[in-house]
Structures are given as C-alpha cells and as structure tokens.
C-alpha cells in the first residue's frame, strides 16, 4: 500500500480498504456507558478482521479464444496487519471522517476500547464501493435506511505521484461555492430539537454562519461582522462533505480561501500561552486589481473566527437573483492567467497556456435539459437527439427520475422505466461481483471453492433469478406489466428461449420460465439473454424519448409544472461552478485522470450522488406534501 510524504495511505487505497472492512463486519448493537449504539462495531472487531481480510472479485467476459463462450476470472486480495497497524489504519478512517466514536462524536482519536459507527460520508463511500464492485449488501441495508447519508460528495482530483490535491483557480472556486452554499446558511433556532436527518440536511447547505460583534475602542459602538464562522467548524464541514482527508488537508484548502481573498480573519482570542496551529500556502499573486495574494494562512484554533469577504459573496453569488447566471466578465467566472494557482509558483507560467486551453466551461444540467447548448446551424434531426439527451439526464438525476416515474404512472406506462432500470442493474451485476470476509483460520488444504468462487456461484443463482423475474414480469405473454415492444424482438426472444429450454428439459416452452428450468442456464446463455434484453431496453428508451402511442413522453414531461419547479430547485441548490464539473453516478469508477481532461494533471473536481439518499429525500418530500 503506497503512502504519502505525510505518512498516510493514498486516498483511493484508504477508501477501498475502509469499504472492504465494513462489508466484512457485522454491524450490530453494542453497549457502552450504559447506552446502546445500533449499527456499530468495536475496536476488537475491526482489528480482528483487518488481521486477515480477503477481498475477492470475479469478472465475466468473453473467452479470447472463443468469444461465444463466457469465462469467469476471480482475483483475491488478502490484507494482513497487526493490531497496532489496524488501529493506525482506523485512525486514518477517522481522520477522513468515514467513522466516528459513537459515544463521543467529537473525539478525533481512535481508542483501544471504543464503539464506532459510520458517518454520512462513510455511508456514501460504502454505497459507491458496493455498487461499483457488485457486492451484495443485504447485511448492511438497514444501516442505509436508519442513518443520514451524504447525498452529494465533492471529489477533488489529486496528483498520481504524491496524492496531493491539484490546486487551481477553478477548483478553489468550486470548493468555496460548495462550502458557503447558494445562500448564507444561518441555522434555524429550532435546529436543537430537530432529528439527525434534519440536522444533517441543514449542515449540507453550507458551513454554519453567525454574526459576531466586536468592540475595538472602549466607549465606541461595537462593530458587527456578518457571515462569520468558527475555524474549527470550517474544518469539520470540509472533512464531512468533500474528499479531503483530515483536518490538515482541510486547513490547507481553507488557507487557499484566505489567499484568494474569499475569507478573512475576524479575531483569534486565544490566550498567549495557548498553542496554535497555523497553515500557510503560497502561490503566484494576481494582477494589480486582484484579491489573490502570494500567500495565505489559516489559524486552526478553537477561538479563531473568520468571515466571508465581499469577494467571497460575489463568488458565492449570494446577491445574484435566483435563476440568474454569472456574467462572463464576473471575477468568479474569469479564469485569467493571473488567477491561476499552483503549489509551485515556478510552474505557473509554464502551465498557464495549457490550463487556459483545457479548463473550458461544461454545460450545466439545466443547460443540457433545455438543450440550450445546441448550435443554431445544426440539422433538424437534433430535436430527437436533444430528447434523448434530456431523457438520459432525467434518468441519471435521482430527483428527476422519481418525478418522471410518477408522470409515467399517471400515463399508465411506468413499466417502461422500471424495465429499463432493472436491465441496467442486471447488466452491471452480470459483469462483476465481489465479496469481503475475514478469515480467522487459513483455508483447509484441498478446499474446493475459494471465497470468490463461492460468491460467484451464489451470484450466478441470483442472476438467474433476476433474468427469470424480468422475463415473467415484462416480456411473457399476458404478464403483469407486459411491455408494448416490437413484434420481431418479441419473437426473437421467444424463439431463443424455446430452443434453450427444449434442449435443456426436452419439453416445449410454454411462454413462461419456471425456476427449475432457469436453474439450468449457464453463463453463456445468460449473456445471450442480456443481449436480447439490451436490444429491448434500447427500444423502450426510444419509446420514452419519442413515443407515438403516448405522444412524446419526455417532451411532455419537461413541460409539467412539477418538473419545471424541481429543475429550478436543483439548479439553485447546486453551485454553478460545481455544475461545470462532470456529475459521476454513485457506482462509477473514480477516473484515472480528471474527467474531460488529458493525461496532463491540471486538476478538476466532480460530484457523486448517493442514490439511496436521493430516494429517501424524495420520499420525505412526498410525505410532507401529502
């Protein structure tokens, strides 16, 4: 496992090992200090599993020598560490805000006898890891429904050589806008009586602000500083809602805010003998009228108070009316060479030309849904293409997808969307499956199946079950949610199943697949069914985008008042600068280079969305309006 100059493992290794450990644990109710803590684990549990942790991953693919056959490749990785190493690794998990002490959430030290739970950020990372690696998460599903989950996590790109965040002007602006929110976040007075979900939702809007009065001269009226926050609060927020690891890295990002003139120190009333940790960053200064300094420092003390500057307010667009957009000449949108930043000022001039060429504005979700980026001189056929793009973004965005489902239900064609999503899930699960387990004793000599092979066998059984359910629910004659699909496609699928089932059982196919018949399917036959399902899925997608039976489902949907209101709400909640970076699905792999950029490491950011958190949020909103 590679480590950085700071002595911590690389971020990707940290996240992967954390998620592997959690999947291998049994999260139960543990008791400490006369209190019960559900969905928790003990220090001993983590140390025991990390002493001999096995992660097995099986991938299906065509045989290079005979592409019609499907072969399975299983890779098993074993982690082994002493108790002290395991504790040190868990300390890194705490620093990254993936776990916290259940009895004392404010503690930053991983203790020898402690009870620990996952944080909302930890649940987001776990969900993404499980989705990406095809892990069956039934044993942790109760955790996702009973605790808050970080819905949107901002990831900052890192250098491959030393795992340090690649700092650039656009990245700092994106991070700052996410940090302060679309509007100033003054917590409501009723927050103390709110439940955990409501409190977390309020925190996710941006760092908690307050007004601070300061009397500079005796007898004079005090000066009130607006939009202030405690230094410690800022560090905690950055650790909880972004991919920064630890307060040290968070403090460096906050120091960049100071260097860019976005925040400024109000006061630090610590006593002279109190210790103080001050982080300083350096870079190229801006032009004569720029707020960017050569260096910036951030005081990590309990008494330090900072405020949002006027430049910070302009960057956050707090004073811009809702629905308005930045002017191209706005300082927050102007990526001039003077505004570029680098940890090494000598590299600034050499790379600025490349940066200017590559950091171009990406269309926001609202732009894509409006198809406003379509050029005037494009052909008329782009109308259908824009509907296709719109539908893709509607399905990818959890809130819009739930609203679209309700629209289809009202038009009696919900089964189209359900089938499309279930086939997507089926394809993903067919290609990859993983398992994680702690093995207290070595595998017995002559053991027939490795953990990965055993997991693959169980996975194959579940895939057969999925294929059966999809066919019997949507494609079998007179099925419960029978799809209206092309007659040729239906006949091709029926003909294939007739040949397979007759060859396997010697009996004629009766139009429905029985479980005992499906159990005989092999991987190659499942692959053929996936290809047929995929063709039907493409047909169904086109129906939803431009349906002649339910005239133009997608165009009709995007004109509904509820869609228009939700689109505006999503655009207001999302920071424009964050929208300029790619939106990654929760199950997508972390890109090896910043999305949309070349192999040259110039930095970037992207947002991942928790599908579970979005579904829970939408469910609560529906309950509130009902």
Q: What is the pLDDT of residues 346-369, one digit of tens each?
A: 333 333 333 333 333 334 444 444
Per-residue confidence at 445, pLDDT binned at 50, 70, 90?
A: very low
Pick from 55-64, 257-266, 516-525, 591-600 the range whose average pLDDT is largest: 257-266
Residue 165, pLDDT above cutoff 90: yes
Query: What is the residue whose two structure tokens read 């300061």?
Result: 214
Q: Specify the pLDDT at position 548.
A: 41
337 Cβ contact list (under 8 Å, min separation 6)? 352, 355, 356
Q: Specify the pLDDT at position 480.
A: 82
More confident position, 433 or 596: 433
CATH fold group of domain 169-316: Arc Repressor Mutant, subunit A (1.10.10)
Q: Specify the pLDDT at position 597.
A: 36
Q: What is the pLDDT of residues 446-467, one digit of tens each?
A: 455 555 556 556 667 778 888 8
User: How far is C-alpha 131 from the chain's CA centre?
Assistant: 11
Q: Specify the pLDDT at position 512.
A: 80
Pick from 207-211, 333-337, 491-495 the range whose average pLDDT is largest: 207-211
Sheet holding 28-32, edge to edge: 28-32, 35-42, 115-118, 99-101
Which is it for the CA torsion 94, 96, 99, 101, positive or negative? positive
Q: Specify the pLDDT at position 619.
A: 66
Q: What is the DSSP letter of 360?
A: P
Tokens of 394: 């509607």
Q: What is the pLDDT of residues 173-228, one digit of tens each?
A: 999 999 999 899 999 988 888 888 889 999 999 999 999 987 666 667 788 999 99
The answer to whether 309 and 216 are in contact (CB under 8 A) is no
Query: What value does the mean pLDDT of the chain take?
Result: 77
Average pLDDT over residues 531-535: 90
516 Cβ contact list (under 8 Å, min separation 6)? none
Average pLDDT over residues 414-419: 89
Residue 551, pLDDT above cutoff 60: no
Backbone angles phi, psi at 330, to 5 degrees: -60, 145
Q: Specify the pLDDT at position 367.
A: 46
401 Cβ contact list (under 8 Å, min separation 6)? 394, 395, 417
Which residue in 104, 116, 129, 91 sits closest to 41, CA to CA?
116
Backbone angles phi, psi at 565, to 5 degrees: -65, -40
Q: Percent of the chain beyond pLDDT 90?
A: 31
Q: Specify the pLDDT at position 410.
A: 82
Q: Specify the pLDDT at position 216.
A: 66
Query: Helices 414-431 and 382-396 sit at what angle, rounded to 10 degrees?
Result: 70
Q: What is the pLDDT of residues 71-118, one digit of tens each?
A: 767 777 888 889 999 999 999 999 999 999 999 998 989 998 899 999
3-state DSSP helix/strand/coil % of the chain, to nearest 5: 45, 15, 35
Q: What is the pLDDT of residues 233-249, one digit of tens each?
A: 999 999 999 999 999 99
Distance, CA of 360 to CA of 40 (rounded, Å): 45
The domain limits of the chain are: 11-151+610-625, 169-316, 387-435+452-556
Beta bridge partner(s), residue 79: 53
Query: What is the residue whose two structure tokens read 């605790």?
Result: 147
Average pLDDT over residues 526-533: 86
Q: What is the pLDDT of residues 23-42, one digit of tens each?
A: 999 899 999 888 999 999 99
Q: Specify the pLDDT at position 561.
A: 72
Query: What is the residue whose two structure tokens read 């490349």?
Result: 354
More confident position, 128 or 350: 128
Per-residue confidence at 563, pLDDT binned at 50, 70, 90?
A: low
Distance, CA of 36 to CA of 43 (rounded, Å): 16
Query: Three-state DSSP class for 472?
Result: helix
CATH fold group of domain 387-435+452-556: Regulator of G-protein Signalling 4; domain 2 (1.10.167)
Q: What is the pLDDT of residues 284-306, one digit of tens each?
A: 888 888 889 999 999 998 889 99
Q: Specify the pLDDT at position 570.
A: 54
Tokens of 194: 């709110």
Q: Specify the pLDDT at position 260.
A: 94
């Amino acid at each position: 496992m590679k480590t950085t100059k700071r002595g911590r493992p690389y971020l990707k290794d940290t996240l992967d090992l954390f998620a592997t450990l959690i999947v291998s644990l049994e999260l139960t109710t543990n008791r400490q200090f006369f209190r019960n803590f559900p969905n928790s684990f003990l220090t001993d549990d983590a140390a025991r599993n990390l002493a001999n942790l096995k992660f097995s991953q099986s991938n299906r693919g065509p045989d290079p020598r005979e592409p019609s056959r499907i072969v399975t490749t299983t890779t098993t990785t074993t982690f082994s560490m002493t108790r002290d190493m395991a504790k040190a690794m868990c300390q890194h998990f705490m620093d990254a805000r993936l776990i916290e002490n259940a009895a004392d959430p404010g503690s930053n030290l991983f203790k020898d006898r402690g009870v620990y739970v996952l944080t909302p950020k930890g649940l987001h990372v776990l969900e993404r890891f499980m989705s990406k690696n095809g892990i069956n998460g039934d044993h942790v599903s109760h955790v996702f429904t009973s605790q808050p989950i970080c819905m949107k996590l901002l990831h900052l790109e890192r250098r491959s050589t030393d795992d340090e965040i690649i700092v650039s002007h656009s990245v700092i602006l994106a991070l700052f806008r996410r940090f302060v929110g679309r509007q100033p976040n003054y917590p409501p007075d009723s927050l103390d009586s709110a439940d955990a979900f409501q409190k977390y939702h309020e925190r996710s809007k941006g760092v908690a602000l307050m007004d601070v009065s300061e009397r500079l001269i005796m007898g004079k009226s005090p000066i009130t500083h607006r939009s202030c926050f405690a230094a410690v609060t800022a560090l905690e927020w950055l650790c909880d809602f972004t991919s920064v690891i630890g307060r040290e890295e968070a403090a460096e990002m906050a120091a960049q805010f100071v260097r860019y003139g976005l925040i400024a120190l109000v006061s630090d009333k610590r006593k002279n003998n109190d210790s103080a940790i001050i982080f300083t960053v350096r870079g190229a200064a801006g032009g004569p009228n720029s707020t960017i300094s050569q260096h910036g420092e951030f005081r990590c003390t309990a008494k330090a108070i900072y405020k949002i500057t006027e430049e910070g307010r302009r960057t956050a667009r707090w004073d811009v009316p809702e629905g308005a957009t930045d002017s191209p000449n706005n300082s927050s949108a102007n990526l001039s060479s003077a505004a570029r930043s680098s940890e090494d000022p000598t590299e600034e001039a050499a790379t600025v030309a490349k940066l200017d060429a590559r950091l171009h504005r990406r269309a926001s979700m609202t732009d894509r849904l409006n198809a406003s980026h379509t050029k005037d001189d494009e052909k008329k056929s782009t109308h259908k293409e824009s509907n296709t793009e719109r539908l893709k973004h509607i399905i990818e965005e959890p809130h819009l997808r739930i609203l679209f489902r309700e629209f289809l239900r009202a038009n009696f064609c919900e089964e189209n969307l359900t089938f499309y999503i279930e086939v997507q899930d089926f394809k993903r699960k067919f290609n990859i499956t993983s398992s994680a387990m702690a093995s207290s004793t070595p595998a017995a000599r002559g053991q027939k199946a490795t953990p990965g092979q055993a997991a693959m066998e169980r996975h194959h059984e579940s895939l057969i079950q999925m294929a059966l359910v999809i066919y019997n629910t949507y494609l079998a004659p007179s099925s419960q949610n029978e799809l209206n699909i092309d007659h040729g496609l239906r006949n091709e699928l029926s003909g294939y199943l007739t040949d397979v089932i007759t060859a396997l059982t010697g009996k004629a196919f009766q139009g429905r697949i029985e479980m005992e018949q499906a159990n005989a399917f092999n991987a190659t036959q499942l692959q053929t069914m996936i290809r047929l399902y995929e063709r039907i899925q493409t047909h169904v997608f086109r129906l939803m985008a431009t349906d002649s039976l339910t005239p133009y489902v997608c165009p009709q949907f995007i004109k509904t008042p509820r869609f228009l209101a939700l689109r505006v709400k999503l655009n207001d909640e999302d920071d424009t600068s964050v929208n300029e970076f790619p939106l990654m699905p929760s199950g997508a792999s972390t890109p090896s280079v910043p999305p949309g950029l070349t192999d040259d490491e110039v930095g970037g950011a992207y947002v991942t969305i928790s599908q579970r958190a979005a579904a829970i949020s939408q469910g609560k909103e529906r309950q509130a309006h009902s």
